[in-house]
Amino acid sequence: MKTTKRFTLLLVLILILVTIIPVAAQTNQDIKLWINGKYVETDVAPIIENDRTLVPVRVISESLGAIVEWDAEEQLVSIMDVDIDLNNLDDELNILKFKNFFILAIGETELIKVNADYMQKLLTDELKEGIHEVSDEDVEKNSTIVPMDTAAKIVDGRTMVPIRVIAEQLGVKVDWDADNRTV
């Protein structure tokens, strides 16, 4: 009788382990990024947190043609999506055309989207008159808040952000392929 109970207990434990191992193996698989028709490598692997895929902000932004600036002192990331008109090299006021401008802070769950026309006006004014101070109130008045349900964070020296928020703000659709663990 004891042998039968031990055998049954051993069989149950084996069945539990057999079902747990594939799940554990799957959660440790690398997440792949497919951007504009090709796989993109990152030096810090994407992670899943709060059911969101976080990727290095520079990788996703620059892969989609945006420019990223990091302010270490303030712990802020600026993402600029601009068109550069090489046909207007003689007209410095019209070389750059802002499409999007975002600011996000480490640890915060919101993205500040600054109005592109406002950014264009600031750039034009600075080129005409030189750099001048911009008030927080003026920026707030010309911005909208985009909520993120997962905060930006630093992992191994890289700023990780929810890929969907950044990509969609840059006009790109995001899909998750669970079978292949690909975004």
**What residues make up the domain containing 135?**
31-169
> Is the predicted pLDDT of residue 10 greater than 80, yes or no?
no
Give a yes or no: residue 37 inside a domain. Answer: yes
> Is the predicted pLDDT of residue 24 greater than 60, yes or no?
no
Q: What is the pLDDT of residues 140-156, one digit of tens each?
A: 899 999 999 999 999 99
pLDDT, averaged across the chain:
81
Give a yes or no: residue 146 inside a domain. Answer: yes
Q: What is the DSSP string of 34-78?
A: EETTEEE--SS--EEETTEEEEEHHHHHHHTT-EEEEETTTTEEE
CATH (domain of 118): 3.30.457.10
pLDDT at 61: 93
pTM for this entry: 0.75
Task: Give the sign of the dihedral formed by CA 30, CA 35, CA 37, CA 39.
Answer: negative
Instruction: Name the domain count of the chain.
Output: 1
Alpha-carbon gap, residue 19 to 36, rounded angstroms: 36
